[in-house]
Amino acid sequence: MKATFYKYQATGNDFVVIDNRDHHFPKKKTGLIADLCHRRFGIGADGLILLEADPQADFRMVYYNADGREGSMCGNGGRCAVAFAAFLGMIAESCTFRAADGPHQARMQGGLVSLQMAEVNEIKAKPQYSFLNTGSPHHVQQVEGLDGFDVYNEGKRLRYGLYGQAGSNINFAAVLGPGSLRVRTYERGVEDETYSCGTGVTASALALYDSGKLTEPVVRVATLGGDLQVRFERAAPGQYTDIWLTGPATMVYKGEWL
């Protein structure tokens, strides 16, 4: 399949992005999507994003994991989709779009993209970790020695051992201050640690604020790929509204898949 694509990254979380408003992309070919995302034999990416027309919003984002399967919400991918829509001239500084978890608002300012995330209505707190859904399922666990922590093996063990085949994303976090975190994430679908995960840093900020480990509702989150900001309002214990994820989203290059 011959197709024009764009490569985007958001704090190191990278994506193949395709304008699919004419519906030319063969979405059922999971093997093709996996080939496009393969880092040795393809373009290389954590996932693939199709930008499509939507009668109820400025556009629709369809997201696929690197394994070729359609995924749930991707926060960094959503911010890249907004930047791509602006590049195509579809939007100005603000927009609405639809994703797997429903409608989202977003705005661009000063090279940053802010994305309103889905509301969170429940955080399941366990003695060693928390579990919540921020558009995608997330396990959040505070650990010591995060720099040297074996994210791949421990993340894989929890992803399958605790959550079964359907799995969950696994986040390991270290609190740096009352409004500051460092997070490393093992992402299902990629089946490896990624440089950043937007829904993951959002989940980590909310879970650790809800448990009292953070005390400020505006949280700077350091990832392997750079810094993100999460801000939110607490409606009740375990319930959060007006959640915004902010950070850079950049086009890397344009290419053609032959």
Which of these is catalytic: 37, 74, 80, 95? 74
CA angle 170, 174, 176 (to 5 degrees): 145
Let me know if 37 is a catalytic residue. no
Please provide residue 25's backbone torsions phi and psi, each rounded to the nearest 5 degrees: -80, 130
Measured distance CA(221)–CA(75) in Å, rounded: 14
CA 165 to chain centre: 20
Q: Are 196 and 223 in contact (CB under 8 A)?
A: yes
**Residue 8 has which token pair?**
């985007």
Let me know if 74 is a catalytic residue. yes
Q: Which residue has the tokens 């705005």?
A: 107
Which of these is catalytic: 37, 80, 95, 197? 197
Written as one string, the DSSP assignment of 219-257 is EEEEETTEEEEEEEEEEETTEEEEEEEEEE-EEEEEEEE
CA 57 to chain centre: 20
**Residue 102 has which token pair?**
């429903």
Report, as residue numbers or ranges, the catalytic residues. Answer: 74, 197
